[in-house]
A and B are shown apart, each in its own frame.
Chain A
Amino acid sequence: MLEALGSGLSQLFQLETLGLMIAGILIGFIVGILPGLGGAVALALLLPFTFSMDPVQGLVFLLSMWIVTTTAGDITSVLFGIPGEATSAAAVLDGYPMTKKGQGGRALGTVLTSSALGILFGSLVLGLFITVIRPLVLLLGAPEFFMLVLLGLAFVVTLSGKSPAKGMAMVSLGLLVSFIGSDPSAGLPRFTFDQMYLWSGIQLIPVVVGLFGGAEVFQLMLTRSSIANGPLGDTKLSGTAQGMKDTFRNWPGVLRSSGIGVVIGMLPGLGGTVAQWISYGQARQFSKHPEEFGKGSTEGLVAAGATNNAKDAGSLIPTIAFGIPGGAATAVLLGGFLILGVTPGREMLTTRLDITFSMVGTVVIAGILGVLLALLLVRPLAALTRISGPVLTPLLFMFLVVGAYTASNNWGDLFVMLGASVLGVLCLRFDWPRVPFLLALVLGKLLEHYLNQANQVFGDGWLTRPGVIIIGVVVLMVLVLSIRQVRKDHRKRLADQPIEGAHTRVIRAVGGKK
C-alpha cells in the first residue's frame, strides 16, 4: 500500500500534472461562482478535453475543478445570498446576514476555513477507509436509504424556527411539489396539469436560485443600498482572521459536520443537498445559542462549509470502490474514469491503487489551493458587497436568469424561479421558514424512489431489517430532542417577553397618559 501511495503522489507531482491542476482550480473557481453552472455541468463540458491525457492527468484535471466549484459556490452564498451551487444553500442562511452586517470578510474566513478542514477530514477518511468500506456500504439497501431520507426530514422540526406547525406545513408543500411529474412505479404523470414541462418534475436549481437568490435580490432592489449597509456601515470588510479563529474554536462542530458530510456523501443518491441540511440541523441542536441560527451564527456557517466539502470526498468512496456514483457530478466523473481507461471497483483498490491515492492527493491539494485562492481574494470579493445596490442589481439579475435557465433550458425554469422568488419573499416577510420547503423538495423524490424499491424488493419485510430499526430509533431520538428543544426555546421566549394581553395593555395605556 505504501508503494502505491508513493507512486500515486510521484505521478501527481509532475510539472505537467500540477499545471493541469492549477488550470482545473481556476476553471472550477469561476464555474463555482456562477450560480446554476454546477460541478456536474462543468465536468461534462470539460470531459472531451481529457481524451488525450493519461489517466492520472485527466483525473487530476477533472477532480481539481470539481472540488473547487464547491468551495467557490459558498462565496456567492455568503456575499450575495445567491447559492453558487444547490449544495451551498445552507451557507446563505448565516453567511448572508453576516455580510449584511458588514462582516463579509469574517463570514468568508469562517466558511472557507471550515471548507478546508472539511476537505482534509474527507480526504483522510477517503484515504484510510477506501479499501475497507466496501462491506459496510453493501449492508445498506433501499430500505435503509429510505430511513436515512426520513432522518433528513426529521431535522425539519429543528429547522422550522419558532413554529414547528408552520415548518411542517411548508414540508407538506415541498413534498407535494416534489411529487409533480411522472410517478416512479408506472411512469404516469401526476399533478402536471397537461403541461409537458412538468412531466420531468420541478427542477431543483431554479427553486434554490429563486427561493434564496431571488428573494435577496428583490430586497436589494427595495433597499437600493449596498449589500453591507445600514447603521453597521462602519464595520470593517476585513476580519478573515477572526473568521478562521471562529472555525478553529468550533472544532467539535467541524468534526461533526465533516463526519456527516462524508457519511451522507458516501451514500449514493442522497448527496450534498441533503447532507448540508442534516448537518445544519445537528449544529443547531448542539449549539448553546440556537436562536442565532439564521441571523449570522458562525456555528451554522461552519456546519455548512465543512459538510459541503467533506461530502465530495465521501461521494468518491462508492464511485471508486464500486462504480456507484454518489450524485450527478460523480456520475459524470465516472464517465471520465471510463474514457480515461480506468475501471472503478476492485481494480482501483488493488492493481491501480496508485491512481486512487493520486486522486486522494488531488482532493487535498486542489481543495486547499482553492481555499487559499479564495482567501487571497477575500478582500476584493468582500469589497463587492460595498458596491451600490443599483449597480449590482443588473448583474445579479443575470445570475438569477442564467442560473435558473441552465437547469433544463426551458422558460418553465424561469417561471419556477419566479414562483420560488415570490415564495421566498413571502416567507421572509411573514416569517415562514424556507428551509423545510426546500428540504422536502429535495427529499420527496428520494423518499418515494426508495420506498418503491424497498416494497418491490423486500415486500413488507423491509420494516424488520436491523438497519431500518437502528435508523428508525435515531429518527425518533432526533424528533424527541428537536421537540424538546423547540419547547425549551418557547419557554425561554415566554420568560423573556411576557405575552401582552389586555392586562398589560391597560397598564401601558395608563403609563402613556401619565
Chain B
Amino acid sequence: MTTQAQRQSMKSDLVIGCVIFAITVGALIHSFSYSESVAMLLPRLAAGLGIACSAWTIVSKVMQLRWSTPLVPVGAAAAEGTASAAVAEIPASSLPTATEQPAEDEGDPNDAEYILSHTPRRTWAVALAFAAGFFILLYLCGIFVAAGALALAYLRVVGRKSWLFSTIYTAVFVALLYGLMRVITFIPSPVGLILPGG
C-alpha cells in the first residue's frame, strides 16, 4: 500500500471510529433513560466496550497520521544530504509517490476493497440508482412488477442485451418467480402499495 493510500485508509478508519464512538456513547446515554426494571447491564457493558475500542482506534489513527505527516522533517532531510534537503519542505502529496507509479498501484482486481475503491463514480451512481429504483418500485408495485422492470431495464442499460433477449429473459424470470412463490411454495412476498397483487 502506498503512503497516500495508507493515509487515506487511516483517515477513513478515523471517521468510522468516530461514528462508532458516537453511536456507542449515544447508546450508553440512552440506556440511562430507561427505568431500573429494564435489564441494562450487558447493553451498558457493550457500549463501554465500544467506547473504549473506538476511542483506541481514534487515538491510534490520529497518532499514526501525525507520525506520517505529509511534511518531511528538516532534520531527517539534512541527514540525507543536499538532494534530500531540496525536497525536505515539499508536501508529500506533491512528491512522486507510488500512486503515480502504475506498477505499484496494481492491486488484486478480484479483491473487494480494490473493486469498491477503483470503480468510477458514474458506475457507482448507476448501481445505486438501480438498487434505489428497484426498492421504490417494490414498495409501490410489489415483487413481480419490480423484478420484471429491474430485469428488463438492467439487461438493456447495463448488460446492453438486445430487446428480444431482454424481453424473453424477463418473461421467463417473472413466470418462474411467480410459479415458485404463488404456485409451488407459497412463500410470502412483499406486496405493492398501489398493486397489492404485484
Contacts and interface: CB of A to CB of B under 8 A. Distances in A.
Interface of A: 37, 45, 97, 100-101, 163, 165-166, 168-169, 171-173, 175-176, 179, 183-186, 188, 190-191, 215, 218-219, 221-224, 229-232, 388, 390-391, 393-395, 397-398, 401-402, 405-406, 409, 411, 414, 418, 425-426, 428-432, 440, 444, 447-448, 451-452, 500-503, 505-510, 512-513
B76 A502 contact: yes
Interface string B92-111: 10011110010000000110
Nearest to A45: B185
Nearest to B42: A448
A190 B57 contact: no
B83 A429 contact: no
Q: 6 closest pairs, A vs B, by CB?
A: A172-B50, A390-B159, A175-B46, A394-B151, A428-B112, A512-B96
B101 to A, nearest CB: 8
A224 B158 contact: yes
B3 A172 contact: no
29 contacts: A45-B185, A165-B53, A166-B13, A168-B49, A172-B24, A175-B42, A176-B23, A176-B43, A179-B46, A190-B39, A190-B43, A219-B115, A390-B154, A390-B159, A393-B158, A394-B150, A394-B151, A394-B154, A397-B134, A401-B138, A411-B190, A429-B117, A432-B13, A432-B16, A501-B68, A503-B80, A506-B77, A508-B95, A509-B96
B24 A502 contact: no
B97 A510 contact: no
B65 interface: no
A299 B83 CA distance: 50
Given A188-B37, A500-B6, A510 B80 contact: yes
A431 B189 CA distance: 34
B143 A401 contact: yes
Contacts of A502: 68-69, 72-73, 76, 92
Contacts of A512: 95-96, 101
B110 A100 contact: yes
B183 interface: no
Contacts of A175: 42-43, 46, 49
Contacts of A97: 110
A479 B161 CA distance: 54
A178 B109 CA distance: 35
A372 to B, nearest CB: 25
Contacts of A388: 159
B34 interface: yes
Contact of A37 (B35, B42, B130, B185): B185
A221 B188 CA distance: 27
Contact of B155 (A100, A184, A186, A391): A391
A37 B187 contact: yes
Nearest to B124: A222
Given A397-B150, A429-B117, A510-B87, A176 B27 contact: yes
A184 B42 CA distance: 11
B12 A430 contact: yes
Nearest to B59: A165
A444 B51 CA distance: 17
A503 B69 CA distance: 11
Contact of B131 (A171, A185, A221): A221
Nearest to B87: A509
Contacts, number: 217
Contact of A190 (B23, B34, B151, B159): B34
A185 B6 CA distance: 47
Nearest to B109: A230
Interface string B26-49: 010010001101111111001101
Nearest to A172: B50
Given A230-B109, A500-B3, A184 B17 contact: no
Given A165-B56, A219-B112, A394 B3 contact: no
B77 A222 contact: no
B41 to A, nearest CB: 8
Contacts of A425: 116
B155 A390 contact: yes
Contacts of B189: 401-402, 405
A223 B52 CA distance: 37
Nearest to A404: B190
Contacts of A394: 147, 150-151, 154-155, 173
A401 B190 contact: yes
Given A169-B54, A401-B190, A430-B16, 16 more contacts: A37-B187, A165-B57, A169-B57, A172-B49, A172-B54, A190-B43, A221-B127, A394-B155, A402-B143, A405-B188, A405-B189, A409-B188, A430-B12, A502-B72, A508-B95, A513-B83
A506 B76 contact: yes
Contacts of A448: 39, 42
Contacts of A45: 185
A264 B38 CA distance: 30
B181 interface: yes
A391 B147 CA distance: 13
A502 B71 CA distance: 8
Given A219-B112, A506-B87, A185 B53 contact: no
Contacts of B101: 512
A143 to B, nearest CB: 15
Given A183-B39, A190-B34, A224-B123, A390 B161 contact: yes
Among B13, B37, B130, B185, residue most surrounded by chain A Cβ atoms (within 10 Å): B185
Contacts of B84: 506-507, 510
A418 B50 contact: no
A191 B39 CA distance: 12
Contacts of B123: 222, 224
Nearest to A216: B112
